[in-house]
């Protein structure tokens, strides 16, 4: 009986704090009252350097929502799937690259194996930066197919009078679309013999033989397609290459979409995103870097079967008669990036809060459909 009473008393006392019968603890009070006053160092003593490990940034209330009661809705989707091919070769002007709808950490191990299995020696590689450089490789002259065959078989050694030496630089970069990757190849060549082989390569962003560059990219794309079907492998060193080339940033004036691309590609990316998202483009002005579009809160780029059945989506009769508000999508190059902002040019009066929400939704839609 005494043991039972002791056990009961212990359980009762331990539960009092949990039930709040004896008030709040000191830790709970500190959490509610906020941070304590900084320590004052007496005169004559050294003042140590103070680094705030958890700084609280200033809140940019560009919507003017401070002090208002807001009903929270479901968050926006993190990503969208609208039929992007998993591996495809893209081209814009003279630039071409392999687009992969896979993260860089999965791509890197297979990229390294590509050069090894084709007997093309690698001189240096840096998975954290996503770069790989080959040795000078002896190959023949001629068309790209003949050159590539000689590079991987070493057949050019039998006819040195027609041989060249080739070097390749491969870059693996995060893509514009979240979780995607892009592969670029640059190629230089020199005559066989002389001191050029031992000189440091000078990479300027342009290949000496664009057709050979395209051939290597094509073979690499098919190789990666076969390897990815066999199962995943991941490089922890390359996992740091995750920052997308497109990012939504909140600034004092509002939300801004930033591309780490040159202007030509950013312009094409925004145009393709608007088309894929089924946003109605009324006009465009390349000189002023502006797309004029119609957008409404009812817009649904992928309404599905029932949405099409009941008239929702970009091609419904309701949107034909009332396409929504008129906006301008403006691109502005600044340094090594391009800023995309949305401006309202609709003749219909729109509340400020509604206008800000529509602008943000349109920017998010452009980012989601950017590839």
User: What pLDDT score does 344 carry?
Assistant: 87
Q: Do domains 87-240 and 246-368 have the same CATH topology?
A: yes
Pairwise CA distance, residues 277 & 365, whole Å: 7
- CATH architecture entry for 87-240: 2-Layer Sandwich (3.30)
Q: Where are the domains of the chain?
A: 87-240, 246-368
Strands 280-285 and 163-174 come out as unpaired
* Other residues' Cβ atoms within 10 Å of the Cβ of residue 299: 22
Distances (CA, A) of 129 to 132, 173, 207, 265: 9, 8, 21, 22
CATH number of 246-368: 3.30.530.50
148 exposed, middle or buried (CB, 10 Å; 0-12, 13-18, 19+)? buried
Pairwise CA distance, residues 133 & 206, whole Å: 15
Q: Per-residue confidence of the chain (371 residues) as pLDDT tens digits?
A: 676 666 666 655 555 544 444 456 666 666 666 666 777 888 888 877 777 677 777 777 766 677 777 777 666 555 455 555 678 888 888 889 999 888 888 889 899 999 999 999 999 999 888 999 999 999 988 899 999 999 988 887 777 767 889 999 999 999 888 888 999 999 999 887 755 555 677 888 899 999 999 999 999 999 988 887 666 666 665 666 667 889 998 888 788 999 999 999 999 999 999 999 999 999 999 999 999 999 987 887 776 544 544 455 545 555 455 667 899 999 999 989 999 999 988 766 666 777 888 899 999 999 989 88
In this structure, what DSSP letter does residue 156 have? G
Pairwise CA distance, residues 199 & 195, whole Å: 7
Pairwise CA distance, residues 81 & 86, whole Å: 11
Pairwise CA distance, residues 97 & 113, whole Å: 19
């Amino acid at each position: 009986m005494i043991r039972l009473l002791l056990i009961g008393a212990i359980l009762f006392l331990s539960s009092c704090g949990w039930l709040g019968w004896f008030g709040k603890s000191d830790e709970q009070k500190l959490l509610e009252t906020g941070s304590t006053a900084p320590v004052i160092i007496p005169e004559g003593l050294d003042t140590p350097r103070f680094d705030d490990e958890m700084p609280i940034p200033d809140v940019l209330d560009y919507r003017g929502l401070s002090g208002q009661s807001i009903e929270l809705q479901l968050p926006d989707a993190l990503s969208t799937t609208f039929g992007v091919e998993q591996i495809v070769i893209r081209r814009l002007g003279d630039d071409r690259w392999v687009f992969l709808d896979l993260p860089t950490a999965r791509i890197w191990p297979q990229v390294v194996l590509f050069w090894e299995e084709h007997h093309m020696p690698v001189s240096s590689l840096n998975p954290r930066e996503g770069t790989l450089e080959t040795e000078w490789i002896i190959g023949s002259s001629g068309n790209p197919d003949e050159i590539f065959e000689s590079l991987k078989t070493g057949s050019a050694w039998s006819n040195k009078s027609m041989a060249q030496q080739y070097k390749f630089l491969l870059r693996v970069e995060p893509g514009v679309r979240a979780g995607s990757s892009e592969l670029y190849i640059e190629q230089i060549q020199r005559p066989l013999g002389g001191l050029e082989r031992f000189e440091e390569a000078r990479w300027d962003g342009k290949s000496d033989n664009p057709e050979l560059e395209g051939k290597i990219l094509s073979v690499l794309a098919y190789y990666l397609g076969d390897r990815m079907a066999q199962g995943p492998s991941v490089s922890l060193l390359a996992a740091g290459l995750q920052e997308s080339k497109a990012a939504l940033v909140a600034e004092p004036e509002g939300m801004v979409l930033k591309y780490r691309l040159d202007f030509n590609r950013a312009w094409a990316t925004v145009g393709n995103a608007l088309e894929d998202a089924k946003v109605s483009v009324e006009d465009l002005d390349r000189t002023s870097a502006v797309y004029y579009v119609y957008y409404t809160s009812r817009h649904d780029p992928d309404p599905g079967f029932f949405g099409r059945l009941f008239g929702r989506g970009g091609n419904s009769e309701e949107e034909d008669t009332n396409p929504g508000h008129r906006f301008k999508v403006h691109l502005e190059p600044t340094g090594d990036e391009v800023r995309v902002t949305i401006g309202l040019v609709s003749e219909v009066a729109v509340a400020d809060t509604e206008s800000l929400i529509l602008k943000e939704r349109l920017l998010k839609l452009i980012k989601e459909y950017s590839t």
